[in-house]
């Protein structure tokens, strides 16, 4: 669903400043698999966006039961692209 709304994976681009093309998503080197259950992970310690990987984000590979988050700029991007390309 996220791709249909114009979103990329949170780990797209790895530890770069452009990672998923959304300004407020922390950089993430690789996808997270399984259930986060409060797991802390920082896979990009020297990137522009250091800190906790967005493992609960809908655009990661976390098990569905543990996905509950999207970033504010992801929502804005999805809204913009929906209006522009799909007229929703």
pLDDT at 72: 74
Residues 6+ apart with CB under 8 A from 5: 77, 78, 81, 82
pLDDT at 48: 61
Residues 6+ apart with CB under 8 A from 37: 66
Quickly count: other Cβ atoms within 10 Å of residue 11's Cβ.
24
Average pLDDT value for residue range 8-30: 85
Upper half-sphere CA count for residue 4 (Cβ side, 13 Å): 3
pLDDT at 29: 92
pLDDT tens, position by position, 30-70: 999 988 776 778 888 875 666 788 888 888 888 888 888 77
As a whole-number percent, the residues of the chain with pLDDT over 90 amount to 7
Domain boundaries, the chain: 1-88
Residues, the chain: 88
Predicted TM-score of the model (pTM): 0.76
């Amino acid at each position: 669903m996220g791709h249909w709304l114009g979103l990329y994976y949170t780990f797209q681009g790895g530890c770069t400043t452009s990672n998923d093309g959304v300004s407020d998503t922390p950089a993430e080197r690789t996808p997270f698999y399984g259930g986060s259950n409060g797991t802390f992970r920082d896979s990009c310690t020297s990137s522009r966006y250091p800190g906790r990987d967005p493992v609960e984000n809908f655009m990661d590979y976390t098990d569905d039961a543990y996905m509950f988050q999207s970033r504010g700029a992801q929502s804005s991007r999805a809204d913009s692209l929906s209006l522009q390309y799909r007229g929703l």
